[in-house]
Amino acid sequence: MQASSVSSRFEAYAAESDSSVKMDARSRMAVSLFMSAVTVCISSVEGQAVLLVASFLYVLSIRRWKAVGIAYAFLAVMMCIAVLLTYGISLLTPIMPFSPRGIAVPFMRSAEMMNVVLPLALTCRIQELLTALKGLRLPFCIYIPAAVMIRFIPTFMHDIRQVAETLKIRGYSLTFGEMFRHPLMMLRLMFTPLLFRSLRTSEELGMAAELKGLESGSCFVPFRTQQWAKRDTALVLLAVAVAALALYVHFKFGTVPTRGMR
């Protein structure tokens, strides 16, 4: 029963993965890096709108409707809070008038970044990310900690869950209210075991790395090799074309919001 449920879950995951076009992690990384630079340069609503539409189509291409919906709902809540606070500040300080166009641009930037990061986060597995990092030919002293960091994050989350369960068994309630009533005690209870676990894990992993002969200049053989396909080149070129179009729209038709800087 258990095996069949695992197998059906795996099949569902595989079907979900296959439904979106499989891209190289490096191309998705390049797109997110490129977008983070372009979005800062453009300060008009028109230019940002071009980027937002293109990035929205990109995030829809992965076909993870539920995850995208949750992310957008979270962004909408954050936006509502920020609009209310900004409106309040503008009422108190008349030199800073409230402008819907002015507040739209920072949130368009956030939405664009979310649109380019979600495909990377939702479609790439840890092994693919590690292989992609290896493919970037980073120096040994950067590759090893970066690989450990990516590999250790799920383990660390598992550790946090275990510590939380242990605390619950011992009678501590880890609720939102408790965090407010006893913040220092909650930090100490959660954090001290995690610090010890981190130090212990780093010692074990470090010894394992030394025993395996990992040192500067050693040759790594990736578990799986990744292929840079034509569709990856097409994705990067498309991102460049969208950026060029957005810059053109920004300089030709863009109106910069109040106090904005071109």
- Least separation in angstroms between residue 205's CB and another protein is 5
Q: Do the beta carbons of residue 239 and residue 35 sit within 8 Å? A: yes
When asked if residue 56 is in the footprint of another protein (CB under 8 A), the reply is no
Distance CA 250, CA 217 (A): 47
Cβ neighbours, 10 Å, residue 125? 10
User: What residues have CB less than 8 Å from 185, skipping those under 6 apart?
Assistant: none
# residues contacting another protein (CB under 8 A): 80
Q: Name the burial class of residue 132, with classes exposed (0-12), middle (13-18) and buried (19+) by CB atoms within 10 angstroms of its CB.
A: buried
Please list every residue from 115 through 174 that binds another protein, using CB under 8 A.
116-117, 120-121, 129, 133, 138-142, 144-150, 152-153, 156-157, 160, 174
Length of the chain counted residue by residue: 262
Among 63, 210, 240, 241, binds another protein (CB under 8 A): 210
Under the criterion CB under 8 A, does residue 43 sit at the interface with another protein?
A: yes
Question: How far is Cα 242 from Cα 31, in angstroms, rounded to an integer?
Answer: 11
Under rule CB under 8 A, residue 209 binds another protein: yes
For another protein, which residue of 21, 73, 80, 85 counts as binding (CB under 8 A)? 85
Query: Alpha-carbon distance 229 to 240, whole Å?
Result: 17
- Pick 64 or 102: Cβ nearer another protein: 102
Tell which positions 216-255 bind another protein, by CB under 8 A: 216-217
Least distance to another protein, CB of residue 3, Å? 31
Binder of another protein out of 57, 63, 67, 215 (CB under 8 A):
215
**CB-based contacts of 133: which residues, under 8 Å, 6+ apart?**
143, 146, 147, 150
Among 3, 5, 169, 180, binds another protein (CB under 8 A): 180
